[in-house]
Amino acid sequence: MRSDDPADVTDRSAELLEVLRERSPLVQNITNAVATNFTANVLLAIGASPAMVDIPTEAEEFARIASGVLINLGTPHEEARAAMPATAQAARASDTPWVLDPVAVGALPVRTTLARELVALRPTIVRGNASEILSLAGFGEGGRGVESTDSPEGALDAALSLAREHGAVVAVSGPTDVITDGRQVMRVSNGHPLLTKVTGAGCALGAVMAAFASLESDALVAAIAATSVYTIAAELAAEKSSGPGSFAAAFVDELARIDADTVRARMAVA
């Protein structure tokens, strides 16, 4: 497989979905209060096994047995702040892939300091919106709270810089997701605007990336596969929805139903 060949990446993404369903990777989440329930339901739907283990001593111990780890800064409460660096170090030490989602970095002080500390611990994947990636790379001031005020293409140089400095894959979410390992730049154009109307949808994608990264050592391919499966499910759900409430339920249904053939047929990576 060549990770810069869209056809190869599409085939591998479809294959990884089947592998995920067989292995049911155990994904540990230190995530925010808003997204925790939705994230667990998304992981269950796609076929992974969620564990929300986020307090000191438990979190770092669990990172050694988890298949993958998500660390999300959405609502960084005291015990989670204390658990995050130790968990990242334990994940790295035990070769557990881990994903950093630096929610609202730059816009808010506590998480900005914490995000800079965590990114130095070499996450496998950094997932964020354009404003967050710009800020984490030191290129900008951050968006309006959790909102991005920049476009993924506008954050490409920041993503490349971040990827090269920390040896991470960087995934910038937007209408077209831009994903890079610091050398190759790939774009995924699947998705639907309703996904932006479901709180925690981006946060839960970070957990799905951790699941795929536990199955595929090329983190660029893992991030592309996770993004594609997730956003194709959003397209399918939108066809069956009357608004963001019915969409959220239909999206979870589609994550449970989507198969490899559907991924091959609909995946729009370039």
The minimum distance between CB 215 and a copy of itself, in angstroms, equals 17
* 242 CB-contact burial (10 Å; exposed 0-12 / middle 13-18 / buried 19+): exposed
Cβ pair 72, 44 in contact under 8 A: no
Is residue 173 part of an annotated ligand binding site? yes
CA-to-CA distance for 186 and 227, rounded, in angstroms?
11
Q: Which residues contact 10 (CB under 8 A, 6 or more apart)?
A: 228, 263, 264, 267, 269
- Work out which of 10, 48, 62, 133 binds a copy of itself, going by CB under 8 A: 62
If one asks whether residue 249 binds a copy of itself (CB under 8 A), the answer comes out as yes
Is residue 49 part of an annotated ligand binding site? no
76, two tokens: 């960084």
Q: Whose Cβ is closer to a copy of itself: residue 183's or residue 257's?
A: 257
Cβ pair 83, 29 in contact under 8 A: no
Q: How, if at all, do strands 185-188 and 98-101 pair?
A: unpaired
CA-to-CA distance for 33 and 49, rounded, in angstroms?
19
47, two tokens: 């076929």
Q: How many Cβ atoms sit within 10 Å of the Cβ of residue 150? A: 21
If one asks whether residue 44 binds a copy of itself (CB under 8 A), the answer comes out as yes
DSSP annotation string for 231-242: HHHHHHHHTT-S
Q: Whose Cβ is closer to a copy of itself: residue 145's or residue 167's?
A: 145
Axis-axis angle for helices 6-23, 219-238 (nearest 10): 80
If one asks whether residue 117 binds a copy of itself (CB under 8 A), the answer comes out as no
Is residue 127 part of an annotated ligand binding site? yes
Binding residues for a copy of itself, rule CB under 8 A, total 63
Q: Whose Cβ is closer to a copy of itself: residue 215's or residue 269's?
A: 215
If one asks whether residue 231 binds a copy of itself (CB under 8 A), the answer comes out as no
If one asks whether residue 232 binds a copy of itself (CB under 8 A), the answer comes out as no
If one asks whether residue 212 binds a copy of itself (CB under 8 A), the answer comes out as no
The 98-101 sheet, strands edge to edge: 49-51, 26-30, 68-72, 98-101, 125-129, 169-173, 177-180, 185-188
Helix (H, G, I), strand (E, B) or coil at 62: helix
If one asks whether residue 110 binds a copy of itself (CB under 8 A), the answer comes out as yes
If one asks whether residue 270 binds a copy of itself (CB under 8 A), the answer comes out as no
If one asks whether residue 257 binds a copy of itself (CB under 8 A), the answer comes out as yes
Going residue by residue from 143 to 162, which x/- string records binding to a copy of itself, judged by CB under 8 A? -xxxx---------------
Stretch of residues binding a copy of itself (CB under 8 A), selected from 13-21, 87-95, 182-190, 238-246: 238-246
Is residue 187 part of an annotated ligand binding site? no
Q: Whose Cβ is closer to a copy of itself: residue 243's or residue 261's?
A: 243
Tallying the residues shown for the chain, one arrives at 270
Residue numbers at the binding site for a copy of itself (CB under 8 A): 26, 28, 32-38, 40-41, 44-45, 49-55, 57-58, 61-62, 65-66, 74-79, 104, 107-111, 144-147, 196-200, 241-246, 248-257
Residue stretches of the annotated binding site for ATP: 127, 173
Residue stretches of the annotated binding site: 52, 127, 173, 200
